Structure 1
Amino acid sequence: MRKRTKARQIALQFLYQIDLRSDEVLDQQSDFITSTESCTEVKKYALELINGCRNYWSSINDAITKVAKNWDLSRMAVVDRTILRIAVYELLYRKDVPQKVVINEAINLGKRFSTEHSGAFINGILDNLKKM
């Protein structure tokens, strides 16, 4: 598995916890990442994704809300919402990752960790965002 793919999976797991339990889990961030991965590059990118999503949480949520027609953010599955946050962060704030890679990675995360329909759902929202 590629390093950034692994980092996205780690970020997904931790951001999922933040979504459910709020900032009470923040003091566990380093321990979680260290216990999950040994590769320095993977840990570094996972941390960048987590912190980036947290720093831009409101603007990421606003971007998703604007393009998610007929979907309220709170009605989305937590896993899908978290995958979208990571992808939107990378699309809007990480110019070092090609858009096509971000979208493909998000779709694959949805297929792997959510429902059979999540890939299409995630693709639709990210495609709408890309068009803006």
Structure 2
Amino acid sequence: MAARSKARKRALDLLFASELRGESPVVALDRAIAEGEGPTNDYTVTLVRGVAGEREEIDRLIASSAQGWSLERMPAVDRNVLRLGVYELLHVDDVPDAVAVTEAMNLVRDLSTDDSPSFVNGVLGAVLKARKA
């Protein structure tokens, strides 16, 4: 697995766990670092801090692009993968759009439901379409 793929997986783990605990992802990240269990790849830190910092915009875009699905109704894994994907699409210039979408689909393919890859692909595609419009 490539370094950035591992970083995305670790970022997802932190986002998912912090949501379950009802805490800020940045607090979870800082605690992991303080306990010596922090990410070994700086890209994980970039993703977690970036998603946390842009969460309002990201969630608004996901909600408006996920026709018929509220954020609360989505599986938690899908919701957090979408947050990572949208962050990369909008704020990480050195990751091509196709790579961000493919990586998001790979995460949900491995960790979520059978329907999740097509759902995530559709939502990220709608975000891309809206961005270009």
| Structure 1 and Structure 2 fold alike (TM over 0.5) | yes
After TM superposition, list the pairs within 5 Å mapping 1:87-106 onto structure 2: 87-106=85-104
Question: Could you say what secondary structure the match of 1:75 adopts?
Answer: coil
Counterpart code for 1:18: S
Give the % identical residues: 37
Go from structure 1 to structure 2 and tell me whether the alpha carbon gap of 1:35 and 1:64 turns closer, same or farther (over 3 Å shift). same
1:25-47, Cα deviation, whole Å (9 max, x unpaired): 7444245365365x4xx2x1001
- 1: CA distance between counterparts of 2:25 and 2:120? 26
Partner of 1:12: 12
Name whichever structure is richer in helix by fraction: 1
Aligned CA RMSD, in angstroms, stands at 1.7
TM-score by length of 2: 0.88
Runs of 4+ residues over 6 Å off in structure 1: none
Counterpart code for 2:6: K
Go from structure 1 to structure 2 and tell me whether the alpha carbon gap of 1:115 and 1:59 turns closer, same or farther (over 3 Å shift). same
- 2: CA distance between counterparts of 1:64 and 1:27? 23
Unaligned stretches of 5+ residues in structure 2:
none
Counterpart code for 1:113: L
1:70-113, Cα deviation, whole Å (9 max, x unpaired): 11110000000000000000111111110000000000000011
> In the comparison of the two structures, how many residue pairs are matched?
128
After TM superposition, list the pairs within 5 Å mapping 1:1-132 onto structure 2: 1-23=1-23, 26-30=26-30, 32=32, 34-35=36-37, 37=39, 39=40, 42=41, 44-132=42-130
- 2: CA distance between counterparts of 1:85 and 1:24? 14
TM-score by length of 1: 0.89
Question: Could you say what secondary structure the match of 1:73 adopts?
Answer: coil
- 2: CA distance between counterparts of 1:63 and 1:28? 24
Unaligned stretches of 5+ residues in structure 1:
none
- 2: CA distance between counterparts of 1:118 and 1:89? 18
Counterpart code for 1:3: A
